[in-house]
């Protein structure tokens, strides 16, 4: 099969970043960090992709970016907020891999160049390092969500049944419209942009290997469920977040001899918090919460 050459490989992936709004000055930036012993790089799309938008030449269409806010200055459109649809994640594969020399100049997946055993080995690499990339991306997006304090960041949109159309009254046989009810207003929650200052905070956390606190993830889960009108799960997650947070601050603030008693006290306070949360939700949403939590 010809000569072979030893090459260093990386595993490349592209992942969706839903609800990630950034300021244009951080486009093209990346976070390099170590995850589970592997070197990772997560990069935003480059600012060059906005060139057509700035000049205003035709309709701006890009599959990786959308401009959500801009202003006009000196006959050019200046973007202020850009929605990033995906990021590139690269995992460095340690060591070197021997491949046919021609593979560097031939189309991808040229099966004629690789023996069946080599193909199986390369497929195993893509599977193993693809899994690492997904785990590293999940860690990264959770960290950015935490530092940006934006619980919707990275989460898919869950839309309700409403389309914005009102209810129409029609004659039964001809289906002629006779009357249209008022239009339904579909609300869209605002998303704060990730600025340069916010972007630098995850970088410091990634360098030190810090993970988002579990109570923070649980609180965001509660907000997600509340947004989706799943009140029961919202209450449970909020109560768990409160319990873990109180146990943590009590554990860190007291001498070792008092920690066991303090943790028991924190659990009691968490139970009280749970009932307070149920009470607050009941006031906001009526008896439905009480029926859900106490059937």
Q: Are strands 97-100 and 65-73 parallel, antiparallel or unpaired?
A: unpaired
φ, ψ at 177 (rounded to 5°): -70, 125
CA distances from 155 to 152, 186, 220, 235 (A): 6, 19, 11, 20
Tens digits of pLDDT across the chain (295 residues): 568 888 899 999 999 998 899 999 999 999 999 999 999 999 999 999 988 786 666 567 889 998 888 888 777 788 889 999 999 999 999 999 888 888 888 888 888 888 889 889 999 999 999 999 999 999 999 899 888 888 888 876 655 555 556 677 787 888 888 877 766 554 455 567 888 888 988 888 888 888 888 888 888 887 777 777 777 777 777 777 777 777 676 666 655 555 555 555 555 655 556 555 555 555 444 544 444 444 4
CA distances from 161 to 105, 158, 184, 228, 233 (A): 51, 10, 11, 12, 21
Q: Taking the domains of the chain in order of start, what are their residue ranges?
A: 4-148, 213-293
Note whether 112 and 54 are within 8 A (CB).
no
């Amino acid at each position: 099969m010809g000569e072979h050459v030893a090459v260093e490989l990386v595993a490349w992936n592209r992942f969706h970043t839903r609800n990630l709004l950034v300021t244009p000055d951080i486009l093209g930036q990346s976070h390099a960090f170590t995850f589970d012993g592997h070197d990772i790089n997560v990069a935003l799309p480059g600012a060059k992709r906005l060139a057509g938008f700035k000049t205003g030449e035709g309709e701006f269409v890009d599959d990786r970016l959308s401009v959500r806010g801009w202003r006009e200055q000196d006959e050019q459109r200046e973007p202020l907020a850009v929605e990033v649809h995906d990021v590139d994640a690269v995992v460095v594969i340690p060591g070197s891999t021997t491949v046919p020399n021609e593979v560097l100049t031939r189309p991808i997946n040229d099966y004629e160049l690789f023996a069946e055993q080599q193909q199986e080995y390369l497929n195993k690499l893509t599977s193993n390092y693809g899994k690492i990339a997904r785990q590293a991306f999940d860690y990264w997006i959770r960290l950015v969500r935490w530092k940006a304090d934006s619980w919707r960041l990275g989460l898919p949109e869950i839309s309700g049944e409403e389309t914005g159309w009102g209810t129409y009254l029609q004659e039964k046989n001809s289906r002629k419209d006779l009357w249209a009810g008022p239009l339904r207003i579909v609300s869209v929650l605002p998303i704060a942009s990730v600025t340069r200052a916010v972007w630098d905070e995850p970088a410091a956390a990634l360098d030190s290997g810090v993970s988002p606190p579990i109570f923070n993830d649980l609180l965001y889960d509660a907000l997600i469920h509340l947004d989706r009108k799943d009140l029961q799960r919202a209450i449970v997650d909020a109560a768990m977040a409160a319990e873990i947070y109180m146990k943590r601050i009590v554990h860190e603030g007291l001498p070792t001899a008092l920690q066991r008693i303090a943790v028991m006290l924190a659990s009691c306070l968490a139970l009280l918090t749970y009932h307070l949360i149920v009470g607050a939700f009941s006031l906001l949403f009526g008896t439905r919460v009480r029926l859900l939590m106490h059937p």
